[in-house]
Structure 1
Amino acid sequence: MSKLDKYQTLIIFMAMPLGLLFGQVRIVEQYADNFVTPFLFVMLFGAFLNIPLKDYRKAFTNIRFSITTVLINFAWTPILVWLLGKLFLSNSPIMQIGFIMLMVTPCTDWYLIFTGMVKGNVPLSATVLPVNLVFQVVLLPVYLLIFAGASGTVNIQDVITSVIIMLILPFSLAQLGKFLLNKTQECDKKEKVFGMFGSLQTILLAMAIMAMFASKGRNLLASLNVVAVLLIPIVLFYIINFILAQMVGKGFHYSYEDTASLTLTTIAKNSPMTLGVALMAFPNEPLIHLIMIIEPLIELPAMMLIVKILLTVRKKRIENPK
């Protein structure tokens, strides 16, 4: 295990307060948001570079996993989120709308990196990204109409652009890179390149998190009371869906790798996309926008804790195979 692997949890966790600290500098706050996408892009390029194409072909044959993911994300999760909103946010219908918007949209980018951290099935996770994206674009207005009595529209052009930039382009460039590297006869050089991008994953994720928090630093520190209100329902969501994913994985006899992928696929959320939707659908409701911005304050520490738990589960399975 490299030093980066050993301290990756600490590195990523420290990225949050450092981002908030740097965000207090006006010029840093003004330009930090411009670096989030490039860091994520290179990070995903490195993730795709280290995955053989045969793993993708194998992952696409796992129909049961895809169906399970869709049912949890788009049938079970909206009901759970509505119930949690009613229980803990009943005094603020606006916060309920923001909570529902946020929690019914699965993450479509950097949760792949967390999947890699826990040694999950990254190719399998990657195959459900387009499915998750299409379903959340189509169903988000439906959920708002049913659960919040409101309807919103999604800018399809922006969604397609984000998919091309954050998924199709890094994937394509990674395949081109592998093709060119395979042309060389220097195996040591090829392995060195793969190893370098593999090692950079933690650093790039930490840099993206720093940039995200720096860009919203002042707003976040001024609105910590909203974090406190959202803490209980969001944490309960993580706990319930974590237990559910583990039970489903055990019931279907999934491997540790597939169960870890299912867990992270059904927990991580797509706050950047929902923020864009909220700005269009509710332009005069800054509280809804704020929920999308501060959600990473809760999600990232929770994700790091989940990473630790899953790695502990993996270690126990290796030590006590059945």
Structure 2
Amino acid sequence: MLTLKASGVSFTSLILLAAIALGSALGHFAPDTGERLGDWVDPTLLSLVALLFFGVRFGALLQAASNLRFFAVALLANFVLIPLIGYAVAWLLLGHHPLFMVGLVIYFMSPCTDWFLDFTRLAKGNVALGTALIPLNMLVQLLLYPLYLQLFAGQAVAVEAGALGSTLLQWFLQPLLLAIAAHQVLRWLLGGERFEALLARVDQLLPWLIGLLVLEIFVGNIAVILEHRGVFAWVLLAVFIFFVLTFLLGEALSRLLHFDYPEHALLSMTTAARNAPLMLAVTMAALPGQPLIYAALVIGMLVEFPHLTALSRVLLGTRRERTWLSHLFQATRSRHQ
């Protein structure tokens, strides 16, 4: 799980920006070097997938039974309502640029399985419940990915169901099973404390590995990406509108269902944060040779960090307001007794 402390948020963003800048410069000024770096995309992808899966605590799924109501709402929001919202936003703003639209749809439809938990912690949300939500989100989005691709992107890119299924099996379901096995065996061999230290090292490595993959994308495709640089403003606008709508959705569901603040904060974070690293890896394997789709995913990832930082502050303001109103109500009630 990619751990982002408050200072780590800007640090990860800097890694991504530096990867884009360095990859673009190498691709433009040293194309031979760029071509050699591009040959390492597959090993980088496999390493990223393996580490993302290795860090997930699937044992936390046992906690799901203790709060079925929250999990049902989170699944409905993340896998039904938000994909519909995301497709509508992407289609309205980027319908004339189908590859960018597909990239955004893939980005929008996949809830985060890593860094949203640290933002939930920053916002004083229910971290224990969020830990149980991570493996659930990961499993459901991998299973639904072929269906979503057929529904939302089938007209823009060629999607062969059989080939897509075998790709997901080879690149993701098999590594997932191996990562789960390695996770359990190493936890048993090392013991709880040392294994948690190992997971912390994996967390620290992940931003650099994501940055390397982004560098490899840009170094080999900078010419194609720059040809469409005028579309980037529309991509940014679409991501901004999507984040506003998901915030409103989280607020509406939390108030309608009378969630306590910790669950309210968790729902807001899981509906806002997207799973860009895993979806970038999945999409590069399932839809090879589509740099514009990958660029849309990377742009969404860049915008997401400042958005989640701002959202955590908004939620903390809501928490303070709730606490103040609760104290005021109790004081008023005490006076009348």
2:229 counterpart (213, 224, 236): 224
* Residue matched to 1:187: none
Q: Aligned pair in 2 of structure 1 residues 42, 297: CA closer, same or farther (>3 Å)?
A: closer
Q: Which residue of 1 aligns with 2:15?
A: 15
Quickly say closer, same or farther: Cα 1:311–1:102, change in 2 above 3 A. same
Q: 1:205 deviation in Å? A: 2.3
Following superposition, the deviation at residue 292 of structure 1 comes to 1.8
Q: One-letter code of the match for 1:191?
A: E
Aligned pair 1:77/2:115, yes or no? no
The verdict on how the C-alpha distance between 1:245 and 1:89 changes in structure 2, with shifts beyond 3 A counting, is same
Quick one: distance in 1 between partners of 2:90 and 2:262? 32
Q: Aligned to 1:256, which of 255, 259, 262?
A: 262
Distance apart, 1:265 and its partner CA = 5.2
RMSD after superposition: 3.5
Per-residue deviation at 1:315?
A: 5.2
Contact conserved, 2:37 with 2:216, CA < 8 A, in 1? yes
Aligned partner of 2:133 in structure 1 is 124
Q: Deviations over 1:90-120 (max 9, x none)?
A: 5x1634752575256415xxx3221332234
Displacement of 1:254 in angstroms is: 5.4
Residue 38 (str. 1) matches residue 42 (str. 2):
no
Matching of residue 152 in structure 1 with residue 159 in structure 2: yes
The structure with the larger Rg is: 2
**Within-5 A mapping of 1:94-105:** 94-95=98-99, 98=102, 101-103=105-107, 105=109
Distance 1:28 1:141 in 2: 32
1:58 aligns with 2:59: no
Residues 94 and 101 in structure 2, CA contact (< 8 A), matched pair in contact too: no
Where do 1:1-322 residues align within 5 Å?
Answer: 5-23=5-23, 24=26, 25-26=33-34, 27-31=36-40, 34-48=43-57, 53=59, 55-60=60-65, 62-90=67-95, 92=96, 94-95=98-99, 98=102, 101-103=105-107, 105-106=109-110, 111-118=112-119, 119=121, 120=127, 121-144=130-153, 148=155, 152-154=159-161, 155-182=164-191, 190-198=192-200, 200-201=202-203, 203-218=204-219, 219-220=221-222, 222=226, 223-252=228-257, 253=259, 256=262, 259-260=265-266, 263-264=269-270, 267-269=273-275, 270-279=279-288, 289-312=290-313, 321=323
1:256/1:314 contact within 8 Å kept: no
Retained in 2: the 8 A contact 1:227–1:294?
no
Cα distance in structure 2, aligned partners of 1:36 and 1:258 = 34
C-alpha contact (below 8 Å) 1:84/1:233 kept by paired residues: yes
Q: Match of 1:113, SS?
A: coil
Counting aligned pairs with the same residue, the percent is 14
Say whether the 8 Å CA contact 2:20–2:214 is kept in structure 1: yes
Note if contact 1:40-1:208 (Cα within 8 Å) is conserved in structure 2.
Answer: no
Q: Kindly state the Cα deviation for residue 82 of structure 1 after the two structures are TM-superposed.
A: 4.0
Q: Is the 8 A contact 1:112 1:125 kept in 2?
A: yes
Residue deviations 1:108-153, cap 9 Å, x none?
Answer: xxx32213322341222212322222233234323446xx598733
Offset, 1:57: 0.6
**2-structure distance, mates of 1:207, 1:96:** 25
Q: What is the TM-score with the length of structure 1 in the denominator?
A: 0.74
CA distance in 2, matches of 1:255, 1:169: 37
* 8 A Cα contact 1:19 1:210, kept in partner: yes
In structure 2, C-alpha distance between the alignment counterparts of 1:216 and 1:251, rounded to whole Å:
43
Unaligned runs of at least 5 residues, structure 2:
27-32, 122-126, 327-337
User: Distance between the aligned counterparts of 2:314 and 2:174, measured in 1?
Assistant: 34
Deviation per CA, 1:217-239: give whole Å up to 9, x if none. Answer: 23246243332232211221122
Distance 2:20 2:101 in 1: 27
Q: Distance in 1 between matches of 2:207 and 2:171?
A: 21
